[in-house]
Structure 1
Amino acid sequence: MDSLTQIVLGAATGEVVLGRKVGNKAMLYGAIAGTIPDLDVLVKNFTDTITATEAHRGLSHSIVFCVLAAPLLGWLVNKIERKANLGWKPWAWLFFWGLFTHPLLDVFTTWGTQLFWPFDLRLAFNSIFVIDPFYTIPFLGCVIWAMFLNRKSAQRRKVNWAGIIWSSCYLLLTLVLKSIVHGKFEKALEDKGYSYSEISTRPAAFNTILWNGNVDARDAYLISDYSFFDTQPIEFERFPKNRAQEPNYEPQQAQINLKRLIDISQGWYLMEQKKNTWFFYDLRFGRIPVSDSEQNFVFAYELDQTNETLIATETEKDFDNVDFILEKLWERIKGN
């Protein structure tokens, strides 16, 4: 999830663990704990795009990291907060839960989280977009409200727990909505007589009313969307895989790097040649409109074979027309 949401969740978690003893400092250190796992994005400043992408939501989002980092952070904060006289263990417990709830929340998103690192297993429920105001804003309101209440008051605990309960119930609701949407896509495919091997669904940006769907139809992908306000049948756009036309990189390292990209996309990818340059599209994150008649895939990588290896560079996203994008999103949410 986005940084603000993780800060809010971490603050609420810190309040549960130590709020009665240290007040708003528990929220502060909880918020810090909720931020730490996403510092793995700094890896991109020191390595190539493929390696940085593989590292994201890896070690720093694992149970192993939570167990190892919590005591160290607890010891450090205990040195800083000597006046609290708590010892390192309560602080370590706060950091453990602040660190652990971060990847638990990320599991509900699309990217994939290696909670059980070093095992190569990425969990992704694909039920919530990385920024969802319906999850974050009520939760944030509860946390801010609790900040201004007496640390020992029952009302403070109730308000903080209200935010946690709301956010947890909303996450469960997204799973229910996803199940309903999956059934809608299955029915649409059955009605049209399409043969397929797999369906992947996820909510569109900022909401859980409009959903995107990718269908693996063996030699092609069928891509569509569905809003709970739709009145017309689901229609699919066909994208041929054209696997036989993909570039055949001769150096072994170049082949390895292409396979790494494919693994990152979990097999949901397309490749396209524009002039003399190949582009790799990760289909899991849907598309954004760039004009009334054209949409681009959100995650695209430009491929460049240099010497013996293959270099992937993530293409810049054009958000200059953000008003247009939001307008199109709102129109589609309202139904077809």
Structure 2
Amino acid sequence: MDSLTQIILGAAVGEAVLGKKVGNKAMLYGAIAGTIPDLDIISSYFTDTVTALDIHRGFTHSIVFSLIFGPLCGWLVSRYERYKDFKGWAWLFFFAFVTHPILDAHTTWGTQLFWPLDERLAFKTIFVIDPLYTLPFLVFLILAMLQHRTSNKRRVYNTTGLIVSSAYLLLTFFLKWMAFTKFESALEEQHITYNQIDTRPSPLTILWSANIETEDAYLLGNYSFFDTQPIAFVSYKKNHELLGDLVKNEKVQRMIAISKGWYTLIEKDDKLLYNDLRFGLLSLEEGSQKFVFQYEIVSDDKGNVQFVEQEKNQRDGKKLLSDLWTRLKGN
């Protein structure tokens, strides 16, 4: 999830653990702890693209990380804060750390919650930015913050925020099931034979997208709960054969594993481009080949391979949000 949402979640968890004892300091330390797991993004400045993708939401988003660094951070804070209870601070950091990846596990990218097991948990039920989750949570957190630390209202507001946000997360599973059944029915009605379906949400979990694998292509489709017309699917050739001997390269194999096999290849302007389908397109215009995550595969005579992410600009992001908003309102 986005940084603001993780800060709010961390602050609410901190309040639930130590708010009655230390007041708003519990929210402050919880908010700080809620951002720490995402520091793994620093790895992108020191490693190649594939390794950075491997690391992202790995160790720092695991139960192991929470078990190690929760007590460590708790001990450090208890050394200089007036409130000296190591156990209380350790629990605050542990729960703020562990709830961060649990929330991220609901997004498309997912997390390696059970690291060192090489398995990424991704429910794909909520978009990385979702105002319906974040804004009510923020309102209740602010209301709690304005109360005295011993006030019953403070606990009620904070607990309500945690319950409302958690209830929304549960609702997204039902919404995902509803969308999945719509895609499944559309494929059956259109007599499309397929191997597997992968669904993911857009903002507000009203608009959903699906990747459908067929024998030699992937079909991409969108469905809004406000739709009145049948779902339309756009076909994208896999073109996996364009890899040639590169398919044997270790880094290429790792990238395919990261993408869970959901990828296409295109040749454009003398470049071989790798498209990760899990996050969709930057434009909803039919036939668009601009994917959210697109990489140029660069290789040399020595067999060294690099994946170079293609640049995106603010205009791309604004165009995508505009397209999603328009499509959300129905076809």
TM-score by length of 2: 0.96
Counterpart in the other structure of 2:310: 315
**One-letter amino acid matched to 2:292:** V
Tell me if 1:265 matches 2:262: no
1:182-193 residue pairs with structure 2 within 5 A?
182-193=180-191
Q: Deviations over 1:192-238 (max 9, x none)?
A: 1111111010112x221111100011221111000000000111111
Tell me if 1:171 matches 2:169: yes
Structure 1 residue 331: deviation in Å?
Answer: 1.3
Q: 1:259 to 1:66 in 2, by over 3 A?
A: same
Distance 2:317 2:124 in 1: 24
Distance 2:39 2:234 in 1: 38
1:179-258 residue pairs with structure 2 within 5 A?
179-204=177-202, 206-249=203-246, 255-258=249-252
Mark the runs of 5 or more structure 2 residues left unpaired by the alignment.
Answer: none
Q: 1:55 to 1:149 in 2, by over 3 A?
A: same
**One-letter amino acid matched to 2:84:** N
Structure 1 residue 322: deviation in Å?
Answer: 4.4
Partner of 1:207, secondary structure, is helix
Counterpart in the other structure of 1:33: 33
Counterpart in the other structure of 2:18: 18
**One-letter amino acid matched to 1:150:** H
Counterpart in the other structure of 2:61: 61
Partner of 2:65, secondary structure, is helix
Structure 1 residue 292: deviation in Å?
Answer: 8.2
Q: Deviations over 1:33-55 (max 9, x none)?
A: 11110000001111111101100
Distance 1:287 1:156 in 2: 43
Distance 2:286 2:211 in 1: 21
Q: Is the 8 A contact 1:290 1:296 kept in 2?
A: no
Counterpart in the other structure of 1:160: 158
User: Any runs of at least 4 consecutive aligned residues in structure 1 with deviations exceeding 4 A, and if so which?
Assistant: 290-293
The alignment of Structure 1 onto Structure 2 pairs a total of residues equal to: 330
Single out whichever of 237-246 and 263-272 deviates more from structure 2: 237-246
Q: Is the 8 A contact 2:282 2:316 kept in 1?
A: no
**One-letter amino acid matched to 2:110:** G
Q: Deviations over 1:67-119 (max 9, x none)?
A: 011111011000120x2232x11100100000000000011000021000001
Distance 2:317 2:128 in 1: 17
**One-letter amino acid matched to 2:294:** A
Q: CA RMSD in A?
A: 1.5
Partner of 2:314, secondary structure, is coil
Counterpart in the other structure of 1:50: 50
Tell me if 1:303 matches 2:297: yes
Distance 1:127 1:93 in 2: 28
Q: Deviations over 1:252-271 (max 9, x none)?
A: 6xx11111110110110011
**One-letter amino acid matched to 1:240:** K
Distance 2:322 2:131 in 1: 17
Distance 1:323 1:35 in 2: 25
**One-letter amino acid matched to 2:275:** Y
**One-letter amino acid matched to 1:235:** A
Q: Is the 8 A contact 2:284 2:323 kept in 1?
A: no
Distance 1:168 1:303 in 2: 41
Partner of 1:247, secondary structure, is helix
Counterpart in the other structure of 2:328: 333
Distance 1:294 1:195 in 2: 23
Distance 1:40 1:322 in 2: 23
TM-score by length of 1: 0.95
Structure 1 residue 280: deviation in Å?
Answer: 0.6
Partner of 2:278, secondary structure, is strand
**One-letter amino acid matched to 2:123:** F
Structure 1 residue 321: deviation in Å?
Answer: 5.0
Q: Is the 8 A contact 1:201 1:214 kept in 2?
A: yes
Mark the runs of 5 or more structure 1 residues left unpaired by the alignment.
Answer: none
Distance 2:105 2:117 in 1: 15
